[in-house]
């Protein structure tokens, strides 16, 4: 029962669905005399928000299209006709209004059009996937009984067909509609059979009084060049900063646009991107009271004080972004959407965005062939500090090129496109994370649309920049809130105006495996900002087993070509799931075979993780080493897959991370020490606004015998803010008798307290060599010690595990043993699960254990005890490529059953420890009801796995 209280109520449960051709009733009959009674044929439980295909999968009417080749067994809309995917959706609700209250029925998005029936009355939701609909249903409401709602949803008008060879956007017919374009298939996804038809976003009802609030626009500007601002709170104080009331007259049955006079904030706490500071958010509440009636409507939104500027950098030719006056080096990724069946949820969005923050990324590009992302997506980008590049629904493949050549004039209905674009701007413009609007992917919108967007999204003078110099206007013509946006720039396309070559030529990419050292070479990429550069993305073996039948577990055939290069030939299921090989004949030797021929799926996927880590760390380190000198930013294609794809991802569709995730996390640290793989110089990266002084670098080389043939410390270094310093050339392996395979550990630390600022571990081989000697290294039995404790709050677990390599220390005087490394994670200022234990820097095991215990007594209380687990071994050396996973403890699980608990957040994973070194890893996850979790460690030297908690 919806009470008479003001506000919004979601209609997100109790929905039924049925194919329209199987329902012999009209919408009037369904919502008056003949409503469906429960999920009995042809009616079934519906997924709302979601799509027709999501509903069919839920009810097992069709198989899971993401499993194996099952998508090929589902009829495509091109073959079935649009009526096959035209569906009824039905629900009911109770609501009783009082006095002069009004009720609006809201659809935040449908695809593609719909007929709505409420209590026998028909209304229409016009075409367009990216527009909101609000219907005043006050006069047709049943106050004393159920209100029956039926929605007949029609697919896009031009769903198109899939050519035999597939391709980017199928036959491109979908581009004639204002809808997602990826649904006809791409080189990273198979076709979506219903073209995402459905009620794919939130449905709600809203109760208001006689006056309601529509689309407020919040704008902040800084008037004193940031001189009176602070980024820190003074104590834990929460205040009502401003309370302002204004009287407004509104004629009957009319709309009035009203602007509040400027509010002045003294030293507000600013919103910063990830890695630059905290993400302070204020809750803005606007309430309307009507004389003689009382409160009529209320609206609230989180808001962050920040200013985003962007211009083309003179030094690099790349687009440069500034936030609150500080330049930000962009390191991020491309995004399509969470799920190809649009099973979108706040919980999934939180995991997605936190994963990006965990990788130390600071920008997500919402690609033009996907979605205008939802407010929940943006909320978590606000929350975790991820800037968003939001594109409109134009892609070059579907709007001007491709095979067959597509229509360059965009959708048939240009007015509809602009209506959807303007509505999207109003929906998203108050989010501080939103950084830039872009007309399309590798294409610009048609001339008339582009001109209209440029005008609609022009900047208010307060926010204009000219080569980084802010324009000052004494008395602008109108205040910023009167603009459609006015606070962030519009760029016509992803390869224009400071991106790629800036002229629209096809100059993004490449999209396949690279030699890691090539990323560091000046000729790898010519332009200042690459919006798309991609590579491999093989998941772990457990994901393959749970998403494919046994015939999909066969690893590729390695076919040797006459020129000595290897061509990988994947099985048909991998090929269907868009597998991208780990070799590029003629340029890149197979990076998996560098470790020896893989024996089976587990071996292949483990070696793929080694390559994933190296590949993506090198990519970001290569770009970062030329920060501001050549580049202003890079976006990786892409961070994840909206289905069970096998390329371009840092975590799979089941939410398990690849090792590439942690390669990125390492490389994108705000303060970072790295090895230039081309020059072999050690570099220190400082992307923060503070100078690093009195710091030191420790470089130690470890061989496969467990000895340390090279050790150097470079002291009294300083690094200016926003700078990369090329420090010292590594003399190893130029020294006598270098080992063919060796490990390098770099640490950057404060000399004042030995605190570690950055740690980076490499495995390397001599030029022209390989890693095959690591195969024998698997037999090494390296002893480990785990000290762990757990904090449980309901279903949420947080486990802290300190891992120590307890093999014999060859020289305890060396400085490396003074440092026990604890990975630190940025704190958003809001999320309690980001709470970090103090960094501990022990000089001996007893000190480490006692301090670790003191930390957890503060968290858990004096009665909690630590658990200590050990793995015995007689060998000395590096504990290589350790990775944790979390499983459900089951004594009678079936063979091949996936016991993983997902998602899990790790402060670090896929890490290695030299003799005597220790690291503390935080593991956070939610456990299903009735399940006991078990934390397991695997590693190169530990193939069988060991339970550590």
Task: Tell me the catalytic residues.
Answer: 442, 532
CA angle 175, 177, 178 (to 5 degrees): 100
SS (H, E, C) 74-100: CCCHHHHCHHHHCEEEEEEECECCCCC
The DSSP annotation for 99-125 comes to TT-EEEEEES--BSEEEEEETTEEEEE
- Among 284, 294, 235, 226, smallest CA distance to 260 is for 284
Q: Which residues contact 868 (CB under 8 A, 6 or more apart)?
A: 785, 786, 787, 788
Phi, psi angles (nearest 5°) of residue 604: -60, -50
DSSP reduced 3-state for 900: strand
Q: Which residues contact 402 (CB under 8 A, 6 or more apart)?
A: 167, 168, 169, 172, 396
- Among 623, 628, 741, 720, smallest CA distance to 674 is for 623
Q: Between the CA of residue 101 and those of 136, 298, 746, what are the distances in Å?
A: 11, 13, 66
Q: What angle separates helix 375-384 from helix 346-358, to the nearest 10 degrees? A: 30
CA pair distance 299, 425, nearest whole angstrom: 18
CA dihedral 163→168→171→176, nearest 10 degrees, is: 160
Q: Between the CA of residue 64 and those of 341, 398, 913, what are the distances in Å?
A: 10, 27, 41
- On whether the CB atoms of residues 109 and 424 are closer than 8 A, the answer is no
End-to-end CA distance of the chain: 46
Q: What angle separates helix 447-456 from helix 414-428, to the nearest 10 degrees? A: 30
CA pair distance 573, 551, nearest whole angstrom: 8
Q: H-type helices in 405-522, by residue range?
A: 414-428, 447-456
| CA 642, chain centre distance (Å) | 11
Burial class for 67, CB neighbours closer than 10 Å (0-12, 13-18, 19+): middle
Q: Which residues contact 389 (CB under 8 A, 6 or more apart)?
A: 363, 364, 365, 366, 435, 436, 438, 635
DSSP reduced 3-state for 946: strand
- Among 530, 503, 514, smallest CA distance to 316 is for 530
DSSP run (H or E) holding 847 = helix 845-860
- Among 827, 944, 804, 945, smallest CA distance to 885 is for 945
- On whether the CB atoms of residues 615 and 535 are closer than 8 A, the answer is yes
CA pair distance 667, 617, nearest whole angstrom: 5
CA pair distance 911, 837, nearest whole angstrom: 19
Own/partner contacts of 895-898, CB < 8 Å, gap of 24 or more, are 896/545, 898/542, 898/545, 898/546
The DSSP annotation for 690-741 comes to S-EEEEEEEEEEE-TTS---EEEEEEEEEE-TTEEEEEEE--TTTSSS--SE
- Among 631, 699, 928, smallest CA distance to 796 is for 928
- On whether the CB atoms of residues 188 and 638 are closer than 8 A, the answer is yes
Token couple for 870: 């050990």
């Amino acid at each position: 029962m919806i009470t008479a209280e003001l506000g919004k109520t979601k209609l997100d449960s109790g929905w039924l669905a049925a194919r329209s051709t199987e329902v012999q009733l009209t919408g009037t009959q369904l919502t008056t005399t003949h409503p469906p009674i429960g999920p009995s044929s042809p009616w079934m439980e519906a997924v709302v928000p979601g799509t027709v295909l999501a509903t069919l999968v839920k009810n097992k009417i069709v198989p899971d299209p993401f499993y194996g080749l099952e998508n090929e067994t589902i009829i495509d809309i091109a073959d079935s006709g649009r009526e096959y995917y035209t569906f009824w959706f039905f629900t009911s609700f109770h609501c009783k209004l009082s006095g002069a209250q009004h009720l609006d029925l809201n659809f935040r998005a449908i695809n593609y059009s719909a007929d709505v029936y409420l209590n026998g009355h028909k209304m229409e939701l016009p075409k367009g996937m990216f527009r909101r609909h609000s219907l005043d249903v006050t006069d047709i409401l049943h106050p004393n009984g159920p209100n029956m709602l039926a929605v007949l949803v029609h697919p896009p008008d031009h769903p198109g067909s899939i050519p035999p060879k597939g391709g980017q956007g199928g036959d491109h017919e979908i581009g004639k509609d204002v809808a997602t374009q990826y649904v006809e298939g791409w080189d990273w996804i198979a076709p979506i059979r219903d073209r995402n038809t459905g009620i794919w976003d939130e449905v709600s009802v809203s109760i208001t009084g006689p006056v309601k609030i529509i689309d407020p626009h919040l704008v902040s500007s800084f008037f004193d060049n940031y001189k009176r601002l602070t980024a820190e709170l003074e104590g834990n104080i929460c205040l009502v900063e401003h309370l302002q009331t204004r009287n407004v007259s509104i004629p009957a049955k009319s709309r009035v646009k009203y602007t509040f006079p400027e509010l002045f904030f003294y030293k507000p706490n600013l919103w910063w991107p990830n890695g630059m500071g905290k993400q302070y958010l204020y809750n803005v509440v606007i309430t309307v009271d009507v004389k003689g009636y009382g409160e009529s409507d209320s609206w609230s939104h989180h808001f962050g004080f920040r200013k985003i500027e962007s211009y083309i950098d003179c030094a690099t030719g790349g687009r440069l972004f500034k936030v609150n006056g500080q330049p930000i080096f962009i390191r991020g990724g491309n995004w399509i959407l969470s799920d190809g069946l649009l099973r979108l949820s706040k919980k999934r969005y939180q995991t997605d965005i936190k994963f990006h923050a965990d990788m130390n990324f600071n920008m997500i590009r919402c690609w033009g062939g996907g979605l205008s992302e939802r407010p929940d997506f943006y909320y978590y980008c606000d929350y975790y500090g991820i800037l968003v590049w939001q594109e409109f629904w134009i892609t070059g493949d579907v709007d001007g090129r491709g095979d067959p050549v597509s229509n360059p004039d965009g959708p048939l209905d240009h007015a509809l496109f602009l209506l959807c674009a303007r509505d999207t701007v109003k929906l998203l413009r108050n989010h501080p994370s939103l950084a830039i609007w872009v007309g399309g992917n590798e294409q610009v919108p048609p001339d008339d649309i582009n001109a209209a967007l440029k005008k609609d999204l022009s900047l208010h003078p307060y926010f204009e920049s000219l080569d980084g110099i802010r324009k000052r206007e004494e008395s602008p013509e109108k205040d910023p809130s009167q603009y459609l946006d006015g606070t962030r720039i519009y760029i016509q396309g992803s390869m224009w105006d400071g991106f790629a070559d800036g002229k629209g030529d096809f100059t993004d990419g490449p999209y396949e495996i690279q030699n890691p050292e090539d990323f560091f070479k000046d000729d790898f990429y010519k332009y200042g900002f690459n919006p798309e550069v991609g590579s491999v993305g093989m998941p772990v073996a457990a994901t393959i087993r749970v998403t494919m039948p046994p015939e999909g577990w066969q690893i590729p055939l390695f076919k040797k070509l006459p020129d000595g290069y290897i061509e990988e030939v994947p099985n048909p299921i991998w090929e269907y799931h868009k597998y991208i090989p780990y070799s590029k004949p003629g340029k890149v030797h197979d990076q998996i075979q560098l470790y020896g021929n893989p024996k089976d799926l587990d071996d292949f996927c483990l070696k793929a993780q080694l390559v994933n880590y190296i590949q993506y760390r090198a990519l970001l380190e290569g770009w970062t080493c030329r920060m501001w000198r050549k580049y202003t930013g890079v976006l990786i294609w892409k961070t994840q897959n909206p289905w069970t794809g096998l390329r371009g991802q840092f975590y799979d569709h089941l939410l398990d991370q690849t090792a590439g995730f942690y390669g990125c996390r390492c490389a994108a640290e705000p303060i970072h020490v790295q090895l230039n793989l081309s020059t072999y110089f050690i570099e220190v990266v400082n992307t923060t606004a503070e100078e690093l002084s009195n710091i030191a670098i420790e470089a130690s080389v470890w061989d496969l015998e467990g000895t340390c043939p090279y050790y150097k410390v470079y002291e009294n270094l300083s690094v200016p803010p926003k700078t990369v310093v090329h420090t010292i050339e590594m003399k190893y392996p130029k020294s006598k008798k270098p080992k063919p395979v060796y490990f390098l550990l770099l640490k950057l630390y404060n000399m004042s307290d030995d605190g570690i600022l950055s740690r980076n571990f490499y495995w390397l081989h001599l030029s022209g060599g390989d890693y095959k000697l690591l195969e024998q290294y698997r037999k090494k039995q390296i002893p480990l010690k785990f000290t762990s404790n757990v904090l449980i709050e309901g279903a949420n677990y947080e486990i802290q595990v300190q891992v120590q390599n307890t093999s014999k220390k060859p020289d305890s005087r060396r400085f490396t043993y003074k440092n026990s490394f604890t990975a630190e994670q940025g704190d958003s200022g809001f999320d309690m699960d980001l709470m970090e234990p103090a960094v501990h820097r022990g000089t001996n095991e007893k000190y480490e254990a006692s301090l670790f215990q003191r930390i957890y007594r503060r968290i858990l209380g004096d009665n909690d005890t630590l658990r200590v687990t050990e793995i015995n071994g007689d060998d000395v050396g590096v504990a290589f490529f350790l990775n944790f996973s979390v499983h459900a403890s089951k004594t009678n699980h079936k063979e091949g059953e996936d016991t993983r608990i997902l998602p899990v957040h790790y402060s670090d994973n896929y890490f290695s420890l030299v003799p005597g070194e220790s690291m503390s890893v935080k593991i956070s996850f939610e456990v299903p009801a009735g399940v006991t979790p078990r934390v397991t460690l695997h590693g190169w030297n530990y193939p069988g796995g060991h339970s550590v908690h």
